[in-house]
């Protein structure tokens, strides 16, 4: 399931991120790439454990916690600490699939990458190129969102970032391990949750709402991993 989640960060928070980026020292983005990805990756990245990266990462995590749509869609068990990248003119990231397992630096924890996420932090009018292109069974999907908006998609998807030809593309990226591993099951639960919220607006006192809510939670109980 691919989903656009708007307004994860406010305009003021995005502006703060860009102020921090202006003062930051960037490093080669291949630092956190796997062997295959490193061959097609050409961008810059904030050092993973720098104070600036941790500060902005906490800002992004707080925004995710406030997003009911994000919680409903991904059913997060664990979120990888957000990373931040920059694509200047001529930079790109060729076609690749994200690593299935990622260790969390500085801990003994590992995360299964069920869902990939990109949070756009540059206004789309400020740069040319830099589209995220995700390929699935229905074709290729090109994504370039307003600053502060998030796109999520299955981490198993082949994807790439087209070359930037003007300006700079700034973004946060991270992965999520879901309580529900199977993408089809997550999609069914999301559709059911959205339908329940709509029914609650249309017929808030319907006894069927209680029954359907029970169905949702019993399916989640059956499919969720501890």
Mean pLDDT, rounded, of the chain: 95
pLDDT computed for residue 143 by the predictor: 98
Sign of the torsion angle spanned by Cα atoms 57, 63, 65, 67: negative
Average pLDDT over residues 137-155: 96
30 vs 126 pLDDT, higher one = 126
pTM, entire model: 0.94
pLDDT of 142: 97
Question: Do 100 and 113 contact (CB within 8 A), yes or no?
Answer: yes
The pLDDT assigned to 36 comes to 72
Q: From CA 115, how far away is CA 183, in angstroms rounded?
A: 9
- What percent of the chain lies above the pLDDT cut of 90? 92
pLDDT at position 215 over 90? yes
Cα separations in angstroms, 3 against 6, 125, 153: 10, 22, 7
Q: Is 216 helix (H, G, I), strand (E, B) or coil?
A: helix
Q: Taking residues 153-171, report their average pLDDT.
A: 97
Q: Does domain 183-223 have CATH number 4.10.860?
A: yes
Indicate the domain borders of the chain: 3-178, 183-223
Residue among 48, 44, 132 nearest 90 (CA): 44
Q: Identify the CATH number of the domain defined by range 3-178.
A: 2.60.120.620
pLDDT given for residue 214 in this prediction:
97
């Amino acid at each position: 399931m691919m989903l656009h989640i708007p307004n994860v960060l406010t305009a003021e928070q995005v502006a703060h991120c860009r102020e921090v980026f202006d003062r930051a020292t960037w490093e080669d983005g291949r630092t956190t790439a796997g062997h295959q990805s490193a061959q097609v990756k050409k961008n810059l990245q904030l050092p993973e454990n720098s104070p600036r990266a941790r500060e902005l990462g906490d800002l992004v995590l707080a925004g995710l916690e406030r997003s009911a749509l994000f919680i409903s869609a991904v059913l997060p068990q664990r979120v990888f600490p957000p990373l931040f990248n920059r694509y200047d003119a001529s930079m790109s990231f060729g076609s690749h699939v994200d690593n299935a397992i990622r260790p969390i630096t500085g801990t003994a924890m590992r995360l299964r990458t069920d869902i990939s996420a990109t949070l756009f932090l540059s206004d789309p009018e400020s740069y040319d190129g830099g589209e995220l292109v995700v390929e699935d069974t229905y074709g290729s999907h090109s994504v370039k969102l307003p600053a502060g908006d998030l796109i999520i998609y299955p981490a198993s998807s082949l994807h790439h970032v087209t070359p930037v030809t003007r300006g700079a593309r700034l973004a946060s990226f991270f992965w999520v391990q879901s309580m529900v591993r199977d993408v089809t099951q997550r999609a069914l639960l999301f559709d059911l949750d959205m339908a329940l919220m709509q029914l609650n607006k249309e017929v808030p006192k319907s006894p069927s709402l209680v029954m359907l809510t029970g169905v949702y939670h019993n399916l989640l109980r059956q499919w969720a991993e501890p």
